[in-house]
Amino acid sequence: MTRVGIPRALSYYRYFPLWETFLEECGVEIVRSDPTNKLILEKGVSHSVDDICLPVKCYFGHVLDLNEKADYILVERILSPERNLENGFTCPKLMALLDMVKHGLEIKPKILEFCLDSRKHPLTRAIGRIAKSLGIPKRRALNSMKAAIERQKLYESKLTRMDVSIEKRNCQSGKNEEIPLTAQASDLFPRQEDARSEMRKPCAKVTSHPYCQPKRDLKIAVVGHEYLIFDKFLSHDICGKLERLGATVYTSSALPEEIIEKEIMKYEDISWVYERDLVGAASYFLSSGIVDGVIFVVCFACGPDSITMEIINREICPKNRPPVMTIVIDEHTGDAGVLTRLEAFCDMVRRG
């Protein structure tokens, strides 16, 4: 059976349900790289130039981790995601990721290209090119494509299944139940491990901290790219640390698209699609009053993120804006330093 390797980084956190379903329906065995760890990151850093961001360095490490495990490695080139935007692009590094892997890494498996530019072609064409490269018969590819798109839509609908109040949703019992957005994807991958489960695995408890208590008395929003905040190793488990410090965590990735679009209309047009999401999420969390504090998680050496943070700090200034903190992460960031800043932030929010 043909084995296709999928790096557990970048668009893995957005398109894995689509990739998994399509390849499995086509009779292909899926091999995922190991969860991000020190060795994978060190491999990626050693095969990268200095001026690219941490997630891309990490991606290289995941590709190298699959070097001996698969016949093909699925590598993405995302120019414009599936949005109705006339002028919307991802960052230059994501556009050039496929070329950087091809010409910058020596790997044995063949490259399987997932090229998505929704301004010119639909998502089905990107999937169809994968089927053609693998020699999948057209009829089987079409049936697999249909199943994959349905599962991707199910994943996205479950991820954003809350109402606009974000905090509450109606249960079958008719009662309201509070659900942290970090836990909303718990039942999205019944066949394999949830793509975000690394973030929810038990970790060492912060037992010595005075605010480490079962009752969660804070509501904290974490705004950042999903491939950063849901990678437990890269983000130093920021969401998990906050939960263990007594916070209910809300993430920008689980906000419905209609909320993002409504918020982004208040500001100047932003060409970077993923940064539009961050600005829209920041605007909502800072002005809606549903959270006690907002934490921005960004990467050092990410040009779009640095500009986005300036836009947020200068343009989004509601009167009752909650406390804000920015955490900049690179390969040298220490876990203890992140924990200390989170402890101080929670302490400050509690004191008002």
| pLDDT tens digits, 12-30 | 988 888 999 999 988 889 9
Mean pLDDT computed over 320-330? 88
* Distance from C-alpha of 221 to C-alpha of 249, rounded to nearest angstrom: 6
Q: What is the pLDDT of residue 317?
A: 74
Mean pLDDT computed over 110-120? 85
Among 32-46, 181-195, 216-230, the range of highest mean pLDDT: 32-46
| pLDDT tens digits, 302-312 | 878 888 888 88
First-to-last alpha carbon distance for the chain, in angstroms, is 59
CB contact at 8 A, 17 and 188: yes
Query: Which segment of 28-32, 151-155, 229-233 scores lowest on mean pLDDT?
Result: 151-155
DSSP single-letter state for residue 11:
T
Q: What is the pLDDT of residue 39?
A: 93
**Domains, in order of start, for the chain:** 3-158 (3.40.50.11890), 188-351 (3.40.50.11900)
pTM recorded for the entire structure: 0.81
* Distance from C-alpha of 266 to C-alpha of 288, rounded to nearest angstrom: 14
Q: What is the pLDDT of residue 161?
A: 54
Q: What is the 3-state secondary structure (H, E, C) of 236-288?
A: CCHHHHHHHCCEEEEEHHHCCHHHHHHHHCCCCCCCEHHHHHHHHHHHHHHHH
Q: What is the pLDDT of residue 254?
A: 79
Query: Which segment of 80-89, 120-129, 155-164, 231-240 scores lowest on mean pLDDT?
Result: 155-164
